[in-house]
Amino acid sequence: MTSSRPTAAARPGSVSLRRRGPVLERAILDAALEQLSTVGWGGLTMEGVAAGARTGKAAVYRRWPSKADLVADALRAGLPELEDAPDHGGIREDLYDVCRRVRDAMLSEPGLALRSVLHQCDVNTAERFQAVIVGGMIEPSIALFREVISRGVARGEVRGDAMSGMVLDVIPAMMMYRSKVCGSEWPDDEIAQMIDQVMVPIFRA
């Protein structure tokens, strides 16, 4: 009589324990992002990440000797890429589209993970993630704003000196400040108000 009892190879979790290389690393990074977005920086543990990835704690420590190393790589791998800048034929519509994309990236699981780092880390720890934050979120966002603003200049609806670094920083700075300090999730109407009341008057030719 053939037993219906599952063999060791078929038992739940046994396949995941034998994962190797990029497959296992991706599972660990995904588990770290999930932990950050739910329990935050303070609640994330290497043991919890290992459990989420269905692997052993040693497999995590072999690749990332510290929690900060793991989180930096998880953020770097997980932050969504911001696509090419839109061209709706007007600066207001273009800015509205870009701001919504940035908002959606901030509210994605990697974005929530990034926000937990910004909100909960002390100054010294936060500095560890500065390059990840700048390279993964700030610089791509500013590149999109720069492109739509330059189109506005070419169309004659935006003044020529609006491409300065200070002006380009305004929208990302406002979104980060209101997200971090005020807890805003930037609904569409707030994005429209920011563009109409702040940015369009700044850009007006």
Show Cβ contacts of residue 139 under 8 Å, excluding neighbours closer than 6 positions.
none
Question: Do 125 and 155 share a domain, yes or no?
Answer: yes
User: Tell me, what DSSP letter sits at residue 88?
Assistant: -
Model pLDDT, residue 150: 93
Model pLDDT, residue 45: 95
Q: Give CA separation, 83 vs 86, 93, 100, 145, 195, in Å.
A: 9, 16, 12, 12, 20
Domain count, the chain: 2
Beta pairing partners, 204: 158
Model pLDDT, residue 5: 40
What would the pLDDT profile of 158-197 be if each residue is shown by its tens digit? 998 888 778 888 888 898 888 878 888 899 999 999 999 9
Query: Residues of the chain whose pLDDT is less than 70?
Result: 1-19, 205
At which of 48, 78, 108 does a domain end?
78
Question: Do 50 and 135 share a domain, yes or no?
Answer: no
Question: Which residues constitute the domain of residue 48?
Answer: 8-78
Model pLDDT, residue 176: 81
Beta strands, E only, the chain = none
Model pLDDT, residue 147: 93
Question: Do 100 and 38 share a domain, yes or no?
Answer: no
For 170, the token pair is 């305004």
